Amino acid sequence: EVQLVESGGGLVQPGGSLRLSCAASGFSFSTHEMNWVRQAPGKGLEWVSYISSSGNTIYYADSVKGRFTISRDNAKNSLYLQMKSLSPEDTAIYYCAREETLAVGGSDTFDVWGQGTMVTVS
C-alpha cells in the first residue's frame, strides 16, 4: 500500500524549532518529487515547499523562506522539514504529499497525501 506517514509535530514556543518527518512506503520514493503543504486551523491549503527526487532542486513559499529547510534521505525513504524561528502563524497541520505525473503528456499533481502532523506554536 502506498503510504505517507508524518511525525514530529507538537507544541513549541515562538522562536523555537521543530523537525518534521515523513516516512514513505509502498512506492519508489527516490524517483518522486515531494512537497509539504500546511493547513492552519479552519483555513485552506497552503503549499510550503518542494524538493526534487534527487534533492537538487528546492522551492519554498515566501512565507517560510529563510526559516524552513526541506530535505530528503532516499536511502531511508524519508522526507524532512526543519522549521526554525517559528511564530504563531506557523500553527497548522503539516501534510507531506507525493508529486506524480499520472498521464502521458500530463502534468504533476499531488496524488498521495499523508494524514498530517499538527504543529502548534504558542
Partner 1 sequence: QSVLTQPPSVSAAPGQKVTISCSGSSSNIGRNFVSWYEQLPGTAPKLLIYDNNKRPSGIPDRFSASKSGTSATLGITGLQTGDEADYYCGTWDSSLSAWVFGGGTKLTVL
How many Cβ atoms are within 10 Å of 73's Cβ, its own excluded?
Answer: 13
| Interacting residues of 73 by C-beta distance below 8 A, sequence separation 6+ | 80
Q: Residue 47 CB, nearest distance to partner 1 (Å)?
A: 4
Between residues 56 and 107, which has the closer beta carbon with respect to partner 1?
107
3-class SS at 119? strand
d(CA 61, CA 50): 9
Between residues 46 and 91, which has the closer beta carbon with respect to partner 1?
46
Between residues 17 and 109, which has the closer beta carbon with respect to partner 1?
109
Q: Residue 35 CB, nearest distance to partner 1 (Å)?
A: 7
Between residues 75 and 102, which has the closer beta carbon with respect to partner 1?
102
d(CA 64, CA 37): 12
Backbone angles phi, psi at 14, to 5 degrees: -55, 135
Q: Residue 113 CB, nearest distance to partner 1 (Å)?
A: 4
Could you list the residues that contact partner 1 (CB under 8 A)?
A: 35, 37, 44-47, 50, 59, 61, 95, 97, 102-103, 106-116
Q: Which three cell numbers stand for residue 47?
A: 503549499
Q: Residue 120 CB, nearest distance to partner 1 (Å)?
A: 17
